[in-house]
Amino acid sequence: LNSCYTVIFEQERDKINHTIISYAPMIEKRERHNMIYLEKMNKVLVCSGFGLQSCEITDLERYDCTKFPDLNSIRSNATICSINDSYVYIIGGFKAEGVDGKYLNSLEFICIK
């Protein structure tokens, strides 16, 4: 899918309320992608996915999505973490090759600022 939403749940006594906020669609349809919320920037970085190396970033204040530099490798189902919203590390993951694939034992990092 390329849909992009924020779902907010709030509990009020014995009732749970929810709000759904819709954003511009992502540039590419993705599955098994890696994403991280960059709190200080109020943005979400989405990387790779099954058969993809591309990255994009969604600005949660402007409701838009822009292209970001590609990763060096396809990394579906990778682990992703951020340090001070300045560096994002994408660790491991799976890369499909032919009918099989391989698990990666490497990482990449992106300087956000």
User: Torsion angle, CA of 40/46/47/49, rounded to 10 degrees?
Assistant: 150
Confidence (pLDDT) at 5: 87
Cα separation, 64 vs 3, whole angstroms? 12
CA distances from 22 to 4, 25, 84 (A): 6, 9, 27
- Please write the tens of the pLDDT for every residue from 18-72: 999 998 899 999 999 999 999 999 999 999 999 899 999 999 999 889 999 999 9
> pTM to 2 decimals?
0.85
- Please write the tens of the pLDDT for every residue from 63-101: 889 999 999 999 999 999 999 889 999 999 999 887 888
Residue 108: strand pairing partners: 90
Cα–chain center distance at 62: 17
Confidence (pLDDT) at 6: 86
CB 112 within 8 A of CB 85: yes
Q: What is the total residue count of the chain?
A: 113
Confidence (pLDDT) at 100: 87
